[in-house]
Structure 1
Amino acid sequence: MSELRTELRTELRLVIFDVDGTLIDSQAHILAAMDAAFAAHDLPPPEREATLSIVGLSLPIAMARLAPDHPDSQPGLVAAYKDAFGQMRRSPDGAALSPLFPGARAALATLAAQDHTLLAIATGKSRRGMDHILDLHDLRGLFHSVQTADDHPSKPHPSMVAACLRDTGTLAARAVILGDTTYDIDMGRAAGIHALGVAWGYHPADRLIASGAGAILHSFDALPVTLDRICPLS
């Protein structure tokens, strides 16, 4: 019986998605919340490029990079960011702050309809923030594993990918991560899975390639055929 289960697992393909900058265009939300957090501590806000460079990291590590000269303020900055982000999310315009990127919903639906393709999430968001996104965009039921920063070390540690593989019973050789930052690519490579980058996120394509991305997508329309090339369905 165990041999049968192992054989079935080799037929599965797992596609793991990053969220911010990959599925969700949350740039305006992140920048506004970061500015509010630093203002709450009477600190000058980081440059836009600096803030976007840390998207994908857990908040404590992100704040340590953005405010290295203010270690005593870093825990407060984390709390202030969470508070500002949540308040904006609950505002009347909250839904407009985190739209899906064009083509994301159609690509998810296409892959979810494939018998041997499973979907998962590996995000630096909190569980509460991820639950909000799932409800906001009616994505519940699509993902067989949802891993958040609440339960794992920050990317690029491979813990989230390892949990996705365990939850789905998928072999590492049959798994792919799609992300927009080097943290995603490095996490995938550390876990021994395939990695794809996207051109519309927070880190430029040349950095993703240098980190080991097998290809760079310029639209979600290219995802199914690219997956079939690097991790074909058996």
Structure 2
Amino acid sequence: MTNSTPDILVVFDCDGTLVDSAHNVIACMRTAFEETGLPVPTDLDIRRSIGLNPDVAVRHLAREPLSDSHLEQIVTGYKTAFFHRRLRVDHHEPLFEGVREILENLASRKIAMAVATGKSMRGVNAVITQHGLDGYFGSLQTPDHNPGKPHPQMLEKAMAVACTKPEQTYMIGDTSFDMMLAKNAGCRGVGVTWGYHDEAELLESGAETLINRFEELLEIIETHRE
């Protein structure tokens, strides 16, 4: 389903944009902090850190400077908690409304797609497998092989794979980190209003426009494609 004539590239964030994972992230981050005996961040603070690389998020959430060993312990604890959580029969990371339809629609228009996320490659592949999204994305850009958002490398690599230019590339995300990523890479930032940062933050961090439903993305793309 990936594009053979890539005049446009649409890059999606994962958590908060394609899937609603906040409940899992919050639970696993709380567990990781609890296991080290350090003060546990609030649910709201954890929610607002979603999208950052785990090590960056942990440093951001800690109420005091962390040693390298404490940082590694919390990050490892978080990843381990998430791994085990995915194995539970009640594990649930639902797609947001309209995701499957927008992916199918873009694929039918021969528009290239990719993912750029703070989620691990293992986590992204788990989402793709769970929801049957194989074949839609030309590349998956994660912290496994890239600096975290808002460093532009994830978008630069996605564009290199798809052979597109920044002005032809849309970054679709729900956080200020996504919009700063788009800005740093010279791409078009499209903020979604159903995620983890509010509309004002998205606009202030560089969103070119906001959408309330995925179907609105089609009009934006077709307008710029003309």
TM-score (norm 2): 0.94
State the partner residue of 1:84: 81
* Contact 2:29/2:78 (8 A) holds in 1: yes
State the partner residue of 1:29: 24
Query: Could you tell me how far apart the structure 2 residues matched to 1:228 and 1:215 are?
Result: 14
* Contact 1:196/1:215 (8 A) holds in 2: yes
- C-alpha displacement of 1:52: 1.2
State the partner residue of 2:106: 111
Q: 1:138 aligns with which of 115, 127, 132?
A: 132
State the partner residue of 2:141: 147
Greater share of helix: 1
State the partner residue of 1:194: 188
User: Equivalent residue of 2:39, what SS?
Assistant: coil
- C-alpha displacement of 1:44: 2.8
Q: How many residues align?
A: 221
Query: Could you tell me how far apart the structure 1 residues matched to 2:41 and 2:11 are?
Result: 30
Bigger shift: 149-158 or 66-75? 66-75
State the partner residue of 1:167: 161
Query: Could you tell me how far apart the structure 2 residues matched to 1:49 and 1:80 are?
Result: 20
Corresponding letter in the other structure for 1:126:
S
Q: Supply the RMSD in Å over aligned alpha carbons.
A: 1.4
* Contact 2:116/2:140 (8 A) holds in 1: yes
State the partner residue of 2:150: 156
Query: Could you tell me how far apart the structure 2 residues matched to 1:171 and 1:65 are?
Result: 33
Q: 1:184 aligns with which of 178, 189, 200?
A: 178
| Residues 153 and 68 of structure 1: CA distance in aligned 2, closer, same or farther (over 3 Å) | farther
Structure 2 unaligned runs (5+)?
none
State the partner residue of 1:222: 216
Structure 1 unaligned runs (5+)?
1-7
User: Equivalent residue of 1:24, what SS?
Assistant: coil
The percentage of aligned residue pairs carrying the same residue is 35
Is residue 52 of structure 2 the alignment partner of residue 57 of structure 1? yes
- C-alpha displacement of 1:68: 4.7
Corresponding letter in the other structure for 1:58:
N
Corresponding letter in the other structure for 2:155:
V
State the partner residue of 1:19: 14
State the partner residue of 1:38: 33
**Could you report, residue by residue, the CA deviation over 1:189-210 in whole angstroms, capped at 9, with x for unpaired residues?**
1111111000011110111011
Query: Could you tell me how far apart the structure 1 residues matched to 2:165 and 2:209 are?
Result: 21
User: Equivalent residue of 2:58, what SS?
Assistant: helix
**Could you report, residue by residue, the CA deviation over 1:6-42 in whole angstroms, capped at 9, with x for unpaired residues?**
xx97x61000000000001001111111111111112
Corresponding letter in the other structure for 2:193:
A
TM-score (norm 1): 0.91
Is residue 206 of structure 2 the alignment partner of residue 209 of structure 1? no
Kindly report which structure 2 residues correspond to 1:1-16, keeping only aligned pairs within 5 A, or say none.
12-16=7-11
Query: Could you tell me how far apart the structure 2 residues matched to 1:180 and 1:85 are?
Result: 21
User: Equivalent residue of 2:144, what SS?
Assistant: helix
**Could you report, residue by residue, the CA deviation over 1:85-138 in whole angstroms, capped at 9, with x for unpaired residues?**
1111110011x2x110011111111011112x1001001111111111111111
* Contact 1:67/1:74 (8 A) holds in 2: no
